[in-house]
Amino acid sequence: MTHLTLQAVTKRFNAAYAVDHVDLAVPDGKLVCFLGPSGCGKTTLLRIIAGLETATSGTVAFAGRDLTHVPANQRDFGMVFQSLALFPHMTVAQNIAYPLRLRRVAKHAQAARVAELLDLIQLPHMADRPVSRLSGGQRQRVAIARAIASSPKLLLLDEPLSALDAKLREAMQVEIRLLQQRLGITTIMVTHDQREAMTMADEIVVMEKGRIAQVGKPLDIYRNPVSEFVADFIGLGNILPVTLDGTDRIGLPGGQRIVVDSAPRATGATGASGDVRLLIRPEDVSMRAVMANPGPNVLAGKVAFIRDVGSSLEATIDCAGFTLTAATTPRETPDLRIGMPIFAELPPHACKLIAARTAH
């Protein structure tokens, strides 16, 4: 077993907890994303794993070895920062060879490894080019090649794509993911972009105020978030206050009562109405202009807004007392117009009851 284990890792800056009792096991060969809003402690946790920051308490172990007090340069982990930190006066090959030079690897072995890595990142003819003359995406690849040059057991990426424009960023997400899978290198990546995490990760660690809010596979978290915070952070969702009466029916803000399959989850929801929210994802809300026998989970409303971007269509529906967003494709709903009456169906299996966000 070579996986990374964190136990009760805590970091305080004066009285404030940046990381608060984090327990985590990162499986071998997987890509794990730390995801959360600005200031939730992602980077601090990554820096503790890297050895660039010392935990106030708790332990970091890798492959069964306690690393808590081992300095960064003896951890043998590769790291790519947001800034990339390439050496601008050096060539591509010199940048990639840098960690090998530090380790006093023989010159011919350095050259062979650099050639291998240049092939891997698909820049075989760029060895002698100064990094200052590379595009953003090429620089990104060189930074990754340098981070993995000495075959580290763990690769740590801190928002490595945040400086790139949207299109290149999406392309690099796929590229890094494919490279990571090909090498089978255990990787932890920090991001605040949920789409990036959903695209790349085997597992997502959602963080909130220094703590882990939820850990799981991307789709599991999307489908079954444990709380309003996680539901709101991962993807779009309709999140509504509800009233409960102990039956399988819940009351919506407009007074309508609908049937749900899920029981209030144990995670913090005590069952009192104020603690619970209804989550239904936009793609689970189906819209019909005409309905002969509306069932119990059908709400009558009016189309208030349409966002049609060609590949997808989102409609905001005004129901009495609240609004719902429904997502579909323009092909499936060609005749939607603002102001038209519409029926919105909320299938019971897609209605999730989740713990409300706590105010602290």
Question: Which residues lie near ligand ATP (CB under 6 A)?
Answer: 13, 18, 36, 38-44, 192
Residues 56 and 10: beta-carbon distance below 8 Å: yes
- In the complex, the smallest distance separating the C-beta of residue 17 from ligand ATP, rounded to whole angstroms, is 8
Smaller CB distance to ligand ATP: residue 18 or 221? Answer: 18
Beta carbon of residue 209, minimum distance to ligand ATP (angstroms, whole number): 9
> Over the Cα atoms of the chain, what is R_g?
25
In 320-356 the beta strands, taken as DSSP E runs, fall at 322-328, 341-345, 352-355
Angle at 288 between CA 287 and CA 293, to 5 degrees: 120
63 backbone φψ class: left, alpha, beta (φ>0; ψ -120 to 50): left
Cβ proximity to ligand ATP, 42 vs 75, nearer residue: 42
Residue 51 Cβ vs ligand ATP, minimum distance, rounded to whole Å: 15
In whole angstroms, how close is the CB of 140 to ligand ATP at the nearest point? 18
**Minimum distance from CB of 47 to ligand ATP (Å)?**
8
Distance in angstroms (rounded) separating the CA atoms of residues 334 and 313:
10
Pairing between strand 313-319 and 243-244?
Answer: unpaired
Closest CB to ligand ATP among 4 and 207? 207
Q: Provide the 3-class DSSP secondary structure of residue 297.
A: coil
Place of tokens 């530090």: 102
- Closer to ligand ATP by Cβ: residue 18 or 92: 18
Select 44 or 180, whichever has its Cβ closest to ligand ATP: 44
DSSP 8-state assignment for residue 267: T
Cβ–Cβ under 8 Å, residues 132 and 165: no
| 82 vs 323, beta carbon nearer ligand ATP | 82
Q: How are beta strands 249-251 and 276-280 bridged, if at all?
A: unpaired
> Residue 192 CB, nearest distance to ligand ATP (Å)?
5
User: Residues 34, 40, 44, 45: what is their CA dihedral angle, to the nearest 10 degrees?
Assistant: -40
The 10 Å Cβ neighbour count of residue 181 is 14
Is 36 or 160 the residue whose CB approaches ligand ATP more closely? 36
- To the nearest whole angstrom, how small is the minimum distance from the Cβ of residue 213 to ligand ATP? 12
